Copies of this chain bind each other. A is one copy, B any other.
C-alpha cells in the first residue's frame, strides 16, 4: 500500500464523537428493534472440550489456504475507517456523526465493499486479468433538505489515495436513474414520534378507559403505537397506526398484543404543521375526526372490545405437563473424528468433500455464497438471498397495509450469535459476521455455523437375498439465523454427496397478529381478542448458474399425457405419456410458475457441453418442500416494489447492471423503486447466454393456535434443491467410503465389506462434556471507525 494512503487521515482527525459508544436507531420501528441493555465482554471458548488424542476429536475446521483471494468479502477495518474519515473530510456531504444527528442532519448509514462486477471477476479468474478494483459502497442519509433522500455512492478506488479518490452516485445497478437517490420517508422520525404521542394524548381518557393504558412518549408508557410499512404513497404520504399493549416480561410478545384502535395521518412533507389527523377506526367503524370518535365512544351502545394482555400464553418457556421420559437426555449428534471440512478463515473460504465456495456478508441480505465449485468446476457464480417479503392482509388498515420488505431492516444487522447445541449441533464450527453501523464496525460473533450431519436415512441402498448395500447420507450445512423483528429466519445451504445443494428457509419466532374484530375473512381467531393475521412469505434468491462456463440455457422437460399409435400397437392408439423437451428461449418466456402436478422439470444446461451420450450436462432446480409466489395481485401496498414476487422463478440475461432484484429502499417509493424487476425482462435471448435464475421460496401462513407463542420451524419451511442432471456419468455417491455391503446367505456366513471406512476409535468420557457452555453467549463486538480505534474493541448488546 502506498504511503500516501488516505488511511493516515484516521490518526489526524479530531475526535468528533464521544469516546463512549453510542447508537442511534437506523430504524424508527422500535418494535423491530432489540431492547437496550449494557455491555458484556465474555467470549466463547473451547476449554471444556477434551483434547487428548485418545478422546473423540474437538471441533474446529481443518485449515487450508484459499486458492485465490476472496474478492467479495467485506472491507477491512482500515478500509472502512479510511472511507469514513474521507467522507467526514468532504464538506459537500455535511455529515454529522450518527450519535448526534437529528432529523435535519446528514449522516452516514452504510459503508460496505461494492461487490465487484462479474465481468471483472471472471476476467481475473479465467483470463489472468487484474484483481478487480475495490470500491466502497456508501449510503448517505441526506436529511438536511426539504426533500430528504438516501443516496448510494461509490467511493474509491481502495486503498484511498490522496490524488485519486472519487465519489460518484451509484446508479448502474438500478433501473431507476436518479443519481442513486431515493426519497427518505423516515427522515422525520423525531417529529413523527412526537406526533404519535400527541395524537394519543388527545384520547388519553379513552385509552385509560379501554385499557388502563397510555402512550404519551414517556418512559412509563404502557402502550405502544406502530403501523403500516410501506407507507401509502398514492396521494401524498398516508400513515395508519395501531395501539398495542406493552409486553410485561423479557419475552418479546408485543406483536401478539394488538388493541384494535387505529388512526390515520396525512404526513406529506416535512412540515409537521401541515400534517393532518384524518380519522380513527375502531371495531370497523371509521370516524373522520377525534371529536366524532369521542362522541361515539361516549354514546350509549358503543361496543367496547377486550384487550389482548401479555401473559404466559405468549411466552416460550416450558409450560404444561412434561411428557413421559422427556427429562431423559435425548439423542444427539456427535463428531467423533472432528470436522471433515476445510476453511480459510482469512478468506471466508470453505471446502467440503467435492464442494468449495467463498462467502460474503452484507448488511442488506446477510450471507452469500460465491464461486461454488463442484469437482473443480464452477457451477454457481453467486447464490444469495435478495429480498424477503411478508405481505399481510386484514380487515383493518394496519394488517392490510403491511408488506414488509425486510432488506430495509437488513438481514445482516439481525444475524445474531447462534445458540450452540440448539441452532447448530454442539460440534459445529463458527464464523463471525460484520456490518457497518454508526461509525463502527459491528461484529456478530459466531453468527454463521458450519457442520456435517448424518441424515436419519441412507443416501443409497439395495438388497437382495444375497447382499444388502447402503451408503450413509452425510451432508454439510452452512447456516445463519436472522431475527428481523418478530420473526426468526433460519437460512441453511445444505450440500449433499449426490452433488445437490438444498436452499432451505425456516421461520420461527413471533407472528405479527391482528386484532380479532371482524377479521374472520383474514385469519383464525387464536386467542381472547386475537386473530392470526394471514400473510404470505416470499423470499427471492439469486442463483447465477455457470454450468461448465457461462454459456447456459434453461431447458424444460414436461411429463405430458399423450395418445400415440406405435409401429407395434396394431394400429391402436394408446393412452400413455411423453417427455416434452423445451427451452426458455428468451426473457419474454422467462417469468415462470411451477407446472401443475409438478409436471415440468427446469434444468440449466450447457448445450455445448454434452456428455458422451449426447445429453446436455446441467443442474436442475426444483422445490424440495412447497414454495409459493405472492397471492396478492397488483398489491396496493407494493405497486412496483416487489415484482420478483409474482412468479415462482425467473430467468434473465446476466448483466453487471442487474446484480440484484431488490434494493433496501424499495419501500420508500413503491411507484418508482430503485429496482423495477420487471425492467430486467426485455426479450433478450437466453439460449447459450450467461443466465441468472431468480427463484422464490415461501409459504402462505395463516397462523393458528399452534403458532402461539412461536411459529415452529417444522411446518414453517420452504426449500429449493439444485441437483445435477446428466452432469456426471454416474452417481458421485459411490465415491464415499461410508458405505457397506453385506454378503449373506452363503456358506461362509455373512461378510461385511466396509470399503476402507474410518473407525471411531475414541472415547467420550462424558457426553455432557461435549455440550457448549452457554454462559459464554455474548453480544456484538464493536470496533469504532471514527475516530478509528482498532485496538479497543468492546461488547455491546444494545440493538442498532
Distance A465 CA – B777 CA, assembled complex (angstroms): 11
Q: Is the CB of A318 within 8 A of B756?
A: yes
Residues of B close to A632: CB separation below 8 A? 561, 575-577
Partner of A423, one of B34, B458, B601: B458
Interface residues of A in 755-800 (CB under 8 A from B): 755-768, 771, 774-779, 797-799
Residues of B close to A463: CB separation below 8 A? 416, 419, 481, 483, 488
Residues of B close to A271: CB separation below 8 A? none
Distance A62 CA – B264 CA, assembled complex (angstroms): 62
Q: Is the CB of A331 within 8 A of B323?
A: no
Chain B nearest CB: distance from A18 CB in Å? 21
Partner of A284, one of B492, B567, B578: B567
Partner of A323, one of B38, B354, B425: B354
Distance A56 CA – B329 CA, assembled complex (angstroms): 10
Interface size on A, residues (CB 8 A): 224
Partner of A506, one of B327, B457, B756: B457
Stretch at the interface among A1-9, A110-118, A518-526, A653-661: A518-526
Q: Given contacts A250-B467, A709-B730, A749-B40, are A763 and B757 in contact (CB under 8 A)? A: no
Q: Is the CB of A626 within 8 A of B623?
A: yes
Interface residues of A in 685-715 (CB under 8 A from B): 699-700, 702, 704-715
Q: Is the CB of B745 within 8 A of A37?
A: yes
Residues of B close to A330: CB separation below 8 A? 335, 337, 340, 452, 454, 472, 474, 738, 758
| Other A-B pairs beyond A56-B767, A498-B712, 18, CB < 8 Å | A328-B758, A331-B453, A332-B336, A419-B463, A460-B508, A460-B713, A465-B798, A473-B713, A498-B715, A525-B615, A534-B559, A561-B631, A598-B627, A705-B731, A706-B730, A750-B774, A762-B767, A763-B766
Tallying the copies of this chain within the complex gives 2
Chain B nearest CB: distance from A391 CB in Å? 8
Whether A742 sits at the interface, judged by CB under 8 Å, is yes
Interface residues of A in 707-745 (CB under 8 A from B): 707-715, 717, 721, 723-745
Whether A202 sits at the interface, judged by CB under 8 Å, is no
Q: Is the CB of A34 within 8 A of B466?
A: yes
Q: Is the CB of A333 within 8 A of B460?
A: no
Whether A373 sits at the interface, judged by CB under 8 Å, is no
Most buried by B among A417, A527, A728, A764: A764
Residues of B close to A496: CB separation below 8 A? 714
Whether A20 sits at the interface, judged by CB under 8 Å, is no
DSSP class of A's interface residues: helix, strand, loop or mixed? loop
Interface residues of A in 51-108 (CB under 8 A from B): 56, 62
Nearest B residue (CB) for A321 = B735
Q: Is the CB of A332 within 8 A of B706?
A: no
Whether A252 sits at the interface, judged by CB under 8 Å, is yes
Chain B nearest CB: distance from A520 CB in Å? 8
Whether A251 sits at the interface, judged by CB under 8 Å, is yes
Stretch at the interface among A124-132, A134-142, A393-401: A393-401
Partner of A775, one of B336, B752, B799: B752
Q: Is the CB of A465 within 8 A of B37?
A: yes
